[in-house]
Amino acid sequence: MIIPAIDLIDGKVVRLYQGDYNQTTEYKLDPIDVVKQYASAGAEVLHIVDLTGAKDTSKRQLTLIKSMVATGLMRFQSGGGIRSEQDVQDLLSAGIERVVIGSKAVSDRETVAQWFETYGAQHIVLALDINIDEQGNKFVATHGWQQDSGVSIEELIAFYGRVGLKHVLCTDISRDGTLRGANESLYAQLVVQFPQIQWQASGGIGSLQDIQNLIPTKVQGVILGRALLEGKFTLQEAIACWQDA
């Protein structure tokens, strides 16, 4: 499935380069219009990143997110600085189908595991952003990629497997926002290693060929952000490319 992404700061559609708030591109688009546009192009799920809420959870853009969900045009997953159970409840109450959890899943595993038990694994996506070292070790970065946790992606998946982990959005940090193509070998390896997970590939996709290159990996979802906003190809073309596989 092709999953378009929208990053929001103070109600505006933006894109960060490699997670850096100081390298922000703003697009003159209305978020509700983007929902309508992507839905009409055939998208079934939209990935929302609340960058304002990620910086300050008291400023989470819940009103805007509720308005996007209220269009009823597709399903939504959303994250950005999920730190408390209230954050999870607020997004689910807003109509978000899956809450995307990143750093908290690394720093406070027992708490997040309890959220799996309470709300169901079908309503949680782990967003695991990884750095790959020269030995091929895949360590998860946290706090907007500013900190290396020293925890491997394999270790986390094994831990959350005990509470029924279903969805993982995995980003190779070195590729994100670069349009240099996704890390196909990474996803192919992870899918084979953890076939029970619904994998979402994210980072670096800049052409229809990049999407085609992901098809043999058997990932279930492909997140598209900057490439769509900058018109590298249309969402219709991306979905057709994926469905032709």
Active site residues: 7, 129
How far is residue 19's CA from residue 71's CA, in Å, rounded to a whole number? 29
Mark residue 19 as left, alpha or beta (left: phi above 0; alpha: psi -120 to 50; beta: remaining). Answer: left
- Beta carbons of 164 and 116 less than 8 angstroms apart: yes
SS3 12: strand
- Beta carbons of 101 and 64 less than 8 angstroms apart: no
4-19: buried (b, 16+ CB within 10 Å) or exposed (e) per residue?
Answer: bbbbbbeebbbbbeeb
SS3 81: coil
Where are any strands of DSSP class E within the chain?
2-9, 12-17, 20-27, 45-50, 75-79, 98-101, 124-132, 138-142, 147-152, 167-172, 198-202, 221-224
